[in-house]
Amino acid sequence: MTKMQNFLKGLIKENPVLVLVLGTCPTLAITSSVLNALGMGVAATAVLICSNMAVSALRNVIPDKVRIPCYIVLIAGFVTMVEMVMHAFTPALYESLGLFLSLIVVNCIILGRAEMYAAKNKVLDSAIDALGMGLGFTLALFIMSSIREILGNGSFMGIEIPLLSDNPIGILTLAPGGFFVFGCLIAIVNKISGGKTSKKLGCSGCPSAAICGKKNEEACDKKEEEN
């Protein structure tokens, strides 16, 4: 896989939100506002790039038995730095994102890429992978938040849109509306890909495959059937 393919795969083909269905908690929670969505996307991308590079650089140093706790400590450190920067320079956005900013530590996209990719590849390749996945995550948040804010609030990035602001579809800013838009976007991406994406990826394409017992169980069952 070339560096360009490595970068582009996270945008659509292996989009962490719309294809792999990871990070759904912040996706549903903060996409009622475009500004919040972009802030979360940029913050998560920064943490993803830094953590991927750190894990890749230390992959031969970290003991295998304690790799997950070590990854979490590294990720938590970068999240803390991002929080401090946002608190200093964008206090309004920091307050708006609130707890969800801290929850980047347990975002399965971050930990999944560290375990699935960064721990097995060089620093530059890991950084490119993280950038692609981060932009894919941000793109998904932006599209979803744009739909919800424009139709649900009648505004875009806080600026009212004539006509739409008079008759907003308020339910789109609530949880049911979030699930509805999320499902529609997943269906559209699946339709564009011809329904082949999920079948092609399988367990081996999931960022959390290495820390999931399902893949190992399936491998054992297949081996027993062959014997």
Q: Could you read off the pLDDT of 13-59 as tens digits, one per residue? A: 889 999 999 989 889 999 999 999 999 999 999 999 999 999 999 99
pLDDT average, residue stretch 116-128: 93
Q: Which tens digit of pLDDT belongs to each residue from 155-167?
A: 898 888 887 878 8
pLDDT one-digit tens code per residue, 142-198: 999 999 999 999 989 888 888 787 888 889 999 999 999 999 999 998 888 776 554
Write the CA distances from 27 to 32, 40, 57, 136, 167, integer angstroms: 9, 9, 30, 12, 25
pLDDT at 210 over 60: no
Burial level of 65, CB count in 10 A (0-12/13-18/19+)? exposed
- Quickly state the pLDDT bin for 221 (edges 50, 70, 90): low
Q: What are phi and psi of 156, to 5 degrees?
A: -140, 120
* 129 within 8 A of 135, measured Cβ to Cβ: no
* Residue type present at position 182: F
**How far apart are the C-alpha atoms of 207 and 203, rounded to whole Å?**
9
